[in-house]
Structure 1
Amino acid sequence: MTREITFTLPAPFPLLNHSIGESRFSLTNMRRKMARSVAMASAGQRLPEPFSKAHVTIERYSVGTPDNDGLQGGAKFLIDSLTTPRLLNVRTEGARQRTKNKRGLGFIVDDAPQYAEIEVIGIKCKRAEQRTVVTIREVVG
């Protein structure tokens, strides 16, 4: 039996156009805000271990229909918040320890193709129905 997690964010995730040209500080704030939003929407659904292989479907309901590259690129912060944080190798003695995906919440191991199949869909709707629905389904075998 495959496991599945579904949660809904109250607004459509920001598209790529919103992050182009922003300072690194603004981008960091956008990443933090997305991680907090995902954590609140998925409260009580987190697993002790991430799915080793998963199919992630992200449905963005909005009044407009975005172009495909803006839709895919805009989902980056959301996808990164689903991954598992991992310590990177320290190459030189005394260098500070760095973490990959430090804002990840541990739903999937990584967003690399061997760990996750990611599908992002844009759906047109009325203004009152705008939201983002995320479904993470475990792939067995």
Structure 2
Amino acid sequence: MRIISFTLPKPFPLLNHSIGQSRFALTRMRRQMARSVAAEAAHLRPAEPFQRAHVLIERYSAGTPDKDGLYGGAKFLVDALTTPRLLNVRTEGARQRVKNKRGLGFVVDDGPAHMQLEVRAVKCRLCEQRTVVTITEVVA
């Protein structure tokens, strides 16, 4: 069983922050999240992505968010942990599309067959805010 753990310097943005944003702003938020995960954990990436994993995300912040905003806000972070995959092209000559194109390859997919997700909110002082991500391989 392998365990990967890393800390992001800031708490991830909540769902309320992204509601009503333009698609360009959301793309910028996705890119920023992928860059921050890559900066902190690129050297921890496994050679092969975990087939099954338990992902624990702990958001340390001064306030305590509601549960749906907490899980919704973790989406960009979870997407950054997955593996990019080419989608099927339905019509000849169509542009090739990629699922999770900003994924860094820690876990195969974020579906329930591959990932058990647990997100926790931890109240702390303003100077201690951060996000801690722990990925534990689940061996069947």
Opposite residue 109 of structure 1, the aligned amino acid is: V
1:40 is matched with which residue? 39
Deviation, 1:43, is 2.9
TM-score norm. by structure 1 comes to 0.99
2:102 is matched with which residue? 103
Deviations 1:103-126 (A, max 9, x none): 000000000000000000000000
Deviation, 1:44, is 1.1
1:27 is matched with which residue? 26
Q: Which runs of 5+ in 1 are unaligned?
A: none
Residues 1-141 of structure 1 correspond to what in structure 2 (within 5 A)? 2-141=1-140
SS in structure 2 opposite 1:132? strand
Give the superposed CA RMSD: 0.4
Opposite residue 85 of structure 2, the aligned amino acid is: R
Q: Which runs of 5+ in 2 are unaligned?
A: none
TM-score norm. by structure 2 comes to 0.99
Distance 2:122 2:42 in 1: 25
Distance 2:132 2:113 in 1: 23
Deviations 1:80-102 (A, max 9, x none): 00000000000001100000000
Runs of 4+ aligned structure 1 residues displaced above 6 Å come to: none
Aligned length: 140
SS in structure 2 opposite 1:44? helix
Distance 2:57 2:32 in 1: 18
